[in-house]
Amino acid sequence: MDDGSRLVVGVDIGNSTTEACVAAVDAAGRVQRLGSALTRTTGVKGTPDNTDGAVTAVRRALEGARRDPAGLDLVLLNEATPVISGLAMETITETIITESTMIGHNPSTPGGGGLGAGTTVPIDDLVGDAPVPGGPSIVVVPRGWDFDRVAAVLNDAVGRGLELVAAVLAHDDAVLVANRLTGEPAGGAIPIVDEVGAVERVPLGMAAAVEVAAPGRTIRTLSDSYGLASVFGLDPDQTRQVAPVARALTGNRSAVVVRTPSGDVSDRRVPVGELVLTGAGKTLRVDVDAGAEAIMDLLGRVQPLEDATGEPGTHVGGMLAQVRDTMTDVTGQPAAEIRIRDVLAIDTFVPREVRGGLAGEVALENAVALAAMVRTSRSRMQVVADRVAGALHCSARIGGVEGEMAVRGALTTPGTDRPIAVLDMGGGSTDAALLTADGACTAVHVAGAGELVTKLIDSELALDDRDTAEQVKWYPLAKVESFFHVRHEDGTVQFFTEPLPAHVFARVVVMTPDGPVPVPTRHPVDHVRRVRREAKRRVFVVNALRALRQVAPGGSLRMLEFVVLLGGSALDFEIPEMIADALAGHGIVCGTGNVHGTEGPRNAVASGLVDAWATEPAGEQAGELAS
Amino acid sequence: MTGPARHGGTPERPSIVVRHHPDAPVAVLREVLAGAEEEGVPVLAWPDPTAGAGPPGDGGAVALAHRAARRSPLDTGVGIDVDGAVAVHHAKLPPRGPAFVEPAPAAAVPAGPAPPAAVSTGPAPPAAVSAEPAPPVAVPDEPAPPAAVSTGATSSAAVPDVPTPPGRRAGAAAARIVTGLPLPLDGPGRCGP
């Protein structure tokens, strides 16, 4: 350049994004930042595949700064070692209904109300002039029956002496049928449960009970062990057996229980194999179904972790093996040399359709989610540097180690000072680095970050759609209350002058920049919000504390003074405050990074690379540019 | 029991209003009324003799639905055209932007095993012009999800091989606009224009 300054680009290749920062550095080492850009990382971080992403980021940054790529003097890359993380989930409980004893069911519109106990009778048996069954009867109506005809047959049968106490319907007709019953008790007074999809599997000629609670209430008798004992005349042993039925029905507005000779609801633990953790000269084993707490306790006893393996044939074993294999493919290191360096276990739950259920009943099964991370010391960034140099016709070199550069960039946040720790919250791993007052830098990576949060939200809300889960993670929720207004999750309302689309009417929505997007769930806003915040807390707050303890002198958080949050998840609308809350008790100043007072939590490493180079003696700089 | 309001007039009681072409399929009308009743919202219906005579498009389900919505004390109306296409409208929505539409059934309307000849033979008979409103039961918002067993998939579990009769979803959609519940998304009906 004419004024003797150099055009330099710092490039930070991260797990999910590659950032570039363009600057002009003059002969006196003064840095004038010209612009930055961001793109998706190509390939696994720290491998030659990164070249494309790095070149794209550099070109975009130059374009944004309106600089001619031909004038580019030097590209600086971070020394990054591959960090590969994996996720797996093991469901550790299973609810099975045998012999169709129970329908725990929340149709949106059950009919009538109260409790009816009697014998199950098919409606076909009531057609014509045949004598009606004696005793209290619960009529079971298969699909294909029209509501008017059901009501007519029932009214006729009651006229001939049927003691009708309840009905179970396949279609969504309960209110319609209830409104058309004329017999005693007066129409509407018997409980009717509808939308029972597998109604043909309801055992006939068996003792049964149907309960429908008043609007806004939940059932009281069938969800109570002694209520069931009273209805069916059970002895203490039998009552013990039906206790799981009562528990499974808790919270429903309507339910059907059929007592069959050997019917049962069982809630069993699924053995899912062992996790073997090695470290600190010990090898310890834990059953994955013991839960996250037991796994994390064990992990604490083998720190620093040297390796982890899972039982072949289990999800966790498969995931750990796959992480290892991917690293082998990426680095060419033999699998035997690759070690799992961290795991994070989290207790979660998965809504699953109950085996043997009749109306699509869903049970919340317990599960353990596990994130694992592997890193190697073998970096291939020099290859990336050579290829970038070739593609851009300029010099390129490795300008510094990631953790140190991140700290250097974070230190440009107004109001910070040494000792300073950074928490880089990315997609696959959470990284911490500490720069002490005397200039020593230490860094760690722990498993579990944004991807794990998305996965927890996806499975706990049974969304089965990663994109929706990602939106739930990123944006606040609201409930569409009319065609013209929404109520946000904090209770405030917002009016719209254009009508909101009908497909979001009365639904829980995510308020994205493109407008409200419906969340396919029956849960209220509060529940979805709780799931989202808990997922973030269990991953990021837990990992922030774990990672900072590993870099803090003596493992004591009190020795830290400034903590700066960096990375994509530092842009989240609530994660920074959750971490700041958790650290406040330790006398730590914690906040979101604002690199150079303008860049926010992005670009710390990329601009740190440029700043580091600018402070180097001029002779070394010249040597690089000449080569 | 109140009868229908004055012909073409405004009903005194809070109810959804259905206006249909005089020759609209009776089975579709019946299911629209049933859909609203199952959701616990009163509904009144009458034929619109002008449906065939007005300017083009005036006899269409959307135009009928918007006129009905403007007559409804609940601001919610349903229109059924001569082919059995159904639209659900709200008085505050733009006339051409209905909340929910259900296309006309492709062929003869299949009904249950005993299709009633008239609209109803029930003891509380909705006549062709006046559905006896169901008792205005408040439809609660869906109860809090149970801790253990619930049904996340009621609609998917229900009757895969017997389709919901034409008109039923539209009737339910009209009621759900009143009660503030999500409109049915699956099936032949669709939300919005």
Flag whether pLDDT at A221 surpasses 60: yes
The pLDDT tens digits of the residues spanning A163-197 come to: 999 999 999 999 999 999 986 654 458 999 999 98
d(CA B91, CA A218): 35
With a cut of 50, say whether residue A24 has pLDDT above it: yes
Contact A215 B180 (CB under 8 A): no
Q: What is the pLDDT of residue B3?
A: 44
> Does A503 have pLDDT greater than 60?
yes
Burial class (CB in 10 A: 0-12, 13-18, 19+), B121: middle
Where is pLDDT greater, at A626 or A95? A95
**Is the pLDDT at B177 greater than 70, yes or no?**
yes
> Within 13 Å of residue A34, how many CA atoms lie on the same side as its CB?
23
Helices (H) and strands (E) in chain A, counts: 16, 30
Verify whether the Cβ–Cβ distance B152 to A522 is below 8 Å. Answer: yes
Set of chain A residues whose Cβ sits within 8 Å of the Cβ of B113 = 144-146, 149
Chain A: residue whose CA lies nearest to B123: A180
Query: What's the pLDDT score for residue B56?
Result: 60
CATH code of domain A101-264: 3.50.30.70
pLDDT (0 to 100) of residue A460: 94
pLDDT of residue A624: 60
Query: Least CA distance to B138: which residue of chain A?
Result: A215
d(CA A227, CA A341): 53
| Token digits of residue A568 | 């994509």
Mean pLDDT of A118-141: 92
Q: Is the pLDDT of residue A617 over 60?
A: yes
What is chain A's Cα-based Rg?
32
C-alpha atoms less than 13 angstroms from C-alpha of A401 in its C-beta half-sphere: 12
In the sheet that holds A31-40, the strands lie side by side as A31-40, A17-25, A6-13, A74-79, A395-401
ipTM topping 0.90: no
Closest residue by Cα to residue A45 from A368, A445, A412, A396: A445
Q: What pLDDT, on a 0 to 100 scale, did the predictor assign at position B125? A: 35
Pick from A108, A152, A507: which is nearest to B121 by CB? A152
A80-89, A198-207, A546-555, B40-49: which range is least confident on average? A80-89
Please report the domains of chain B, with CATH numbers, ordered by start residue: 26-105+117-136+160-191 (3.40.50.10150)
Q: What share of chain B is helix, strand, coil (3-state, %, to 5)?
A: 25, 15, 65
Partners of residue A108 in chain B, C-beta under 8 Å: 139, 142, 154, 181
Calpha distance B193→B189 (Å, rounded) = 11
Same fold, A101-264 and A415-476+506-593: no
C-alpha to C-alpha distance for A59 and A2, rounded to whole angstroms: 21
Q: What is the mean pLDDT of residues A517-541?
A: 95
Query: Looking at the partner chain, which of A359, A483, A524 has a beta carbon nearest the beta carbon of B157?
Result: A359
CATH of A415-476+506-593, one of 1.10.10.60, 3.30.420.40, 3.30.930.10, 3.30.70.270: 3.30.420.40
Three-state SS at A62? helix
Any bridge partners for residue A281, and if so which?
none
Closest CA relative to residue A317, chosen from A330, A308, A304, A306? A308
Q: Give the chain A residue nearest B90 (alpha carbons).
A: A483
Cα dihedral sign, A396-A398-A404-A406: positive
Q: What is the mean pLDDT of residues A12-31?
A: 90
Q: With CB atoms and an 8 Å threshold, state whether B191 touches A248.
A: no
How would you classify the pairing of strands A485-488 and A493-495? antiparallel
Segment A378-396 mean pLDDT: 89
pLDDT at B21: 93
Which residues sit opposite A565 in a β-bridge? A423, A592
- Quote the pLDDT of residue A3: 65
pLDDT at residue B107 tops 70: no
What residues 138-157 of chain B have any CB closer than 8 A to a CB of chain A? 138-157
Query: What pLDDT, on a 0 to 100 scale, did the predictor assign at position A264?
Result: 65
Residues in chain A within 8 Å Cβ distance of B98: 502
Contact A148 B137 (CB under 8 A): no
B80-106: pLDDT as tens digits: 999 999 999 999 999 999 999 999 987
| CATH number of the structural domain A1-81+379-412+602-627 | 3.30.420.40
Q: Residue range A223-235: average pLDDT?
A: 92
CA distance A277 to chain B (A): 33
pLDDT digits (tens, 9 = 90+) for B1-56: 444 444 455 557 899 999 999 999 999 999 999 999 999 999 999 898 877 666 66
Measure the CA angle with vertex B156, ends A463 and A268; round to 5°: 65
Mean pLDDT for B96-124 is 59
Residue pair A18/A78 in contact by the 8 Å Cβ criterion = no
Q: Please indicate if any CB of chain B lies within 8 Å of the CB of A266.
A: no
Q: State the pLDDT at residue A271.
A: 74
pLDDT at A42 over 60: yes
A55 contacts: CB under 8 Å, gap ≥ 6: A388, A391, A392
What residues in A contact B112, CB-CB < 8 Å?
A: 144-149
What amino acid occupies position A7?
A: L
The beta-carbon neighbor of A176 closest among B34, B100, B185 is: B34
User: What per-residue confidence (pLDDT) applies to B9?
Assistant: 52
Query: Using the beta-carbon criterion (under 8 Å), do A360 and B151 form an inter-chain contact?
Result: yes
Cβ contacts of B91 within 8 Å, gap of 6 or more: B66, B69, B70, B72, B75, B76, B77
Listed in sequence order, the DSSP H helices in chain B are 26-38, 61-71, 154-157, 168-179
**Residues 502-521, chain A, touching B (beta carbon < 8 A):** 502-503, 505-507
Confidence of residue A432 (pLDDT cuts 50, 70, 90): very high
What CA–CA distance (Å, rounded) separates B104 from B111? Answer: 15
Work out the minimum CA distance from A478 to partner chain B, whole angstroms: 14
What is the mean predicted confidence (pLDDT) over A593-617?
90
Residue positions counted in chain A: 627
User: Helix, strand, coil: what percent of chain A each, to 5?
Assistant: 35, 30, 35
Judged by average pLDDT, the poorest of A111-115, A221-225, B55-59, B60-64 is B55-59
The full 3-state SS of A511-525, as one line of letters, equals: EECCEEEECCCCCCH
> Helix A542-551 and helix A575-584: axis angle, to 10°?
50
Which among A148, A216, A502 has CB closest to B100? A502
pLDDT score at B150: 33
Contact criterion met (CB < 8 Å) for B40 and A109: yes
Confidence of residue B134 (pLDDT cuts 50, 70, 90): very low
Q: How confident is the model at residue B128 (pLDDT cuts 50, 70, 90)?
A: very low
Tokens of residue A385, six digits: 């540097």
Interface of A with B in 118-147 (CB under 8 A): 143-147
pLDDT of residue B121: 34
Domain A86-92+270-375 falls in which CATH fold? Ribosomal Protein L22; Chain A (3.90.470)
Cβ contacts of A129 within 8 Å, gap of 6 or more: A160
CB A238 within 8 A of CB A279: no
User: Is the link from the previous residue into A419 a cis peptide, with omega within 30 of 0?
Assistant: yes
- What order of strands is seen across the sheet that includes strand B16-20? B43-47, B16-20, B76-80, B86-90, B100-102, B190-191
Residues of B within 8 A of A483 (CB-CB) are: 90, 92-93, 99
Measured CA to CA, the distance from residue B45 to residue B77 in angstroms comes to 10
* pLDDT in the model for residue B143: 37
Interface of A with B in 359-378 (CB under 8 A): 359-364
SS3 A455: helix
The domain limits of chain A are 1-81+379-412+602-627, 86-92+270-375, 101-264, 415-476+506-593
The share of chain A scoring above pLDDT 90, in percent, equals 59
**The pLDDT value given to residue B113:** 41
A145, A362, A364: best to mutate for the B interface, most B CBs within 10 A: A362
| A522 contacts chain B (CB < 8 A) | yes
Query: Is B123 touching A (CB cutoff 8 A)?
Result: yes
Query: CA–CA separation, B186 vs A228, rounded Å?
Result: 37
Q: What is the mean pLDDT of chain A?
A: 89
Phi and psi, residue A443, nearest 5°: -140, 145
Q: Does pLDDT of A232 surpass 80?
A: yes
CA-nearest of A106, A87, A50, A104 to A386 is: A50
Cβ within 8 Å, pair B159-A170? yes
* Burial of A281 per CB tally in 10 Å (0-12, 13-18, 19+): exposed
Confidence of residue A578 (pLDDT cuts 50, 70, 90): very high
Q: Does B135 touch chain A (CB under 8 A)?
A: yes
**Rounded to whole angstroms, how far apart are CA atoms A589 and A598?**
20
B146/A483 CB distance under 8 A: no
B130 pLDDT tier (thresholds 50, 70, 90): very low
Residue A204: other Cβ atoms inside 10 A: 14
Number of A–B residue contacts, CB under 8 Å: 198
The dihedral through the CA atoms of B182, B188, B189, B192 has a sign that is: positive
Q: Per-residue pLDDT tens for A253-312?
A: 999 988 877 666 666 777 788 999 999 899 999 998 888 999 999 998 998 899 998 888
Supply B62's token pair: 């959307």
**Distance between CA B7 and CA A106 in Å, rounded?**
40
pLDDT band at A23 (very low <50, low <70, confident <90, very high): very high
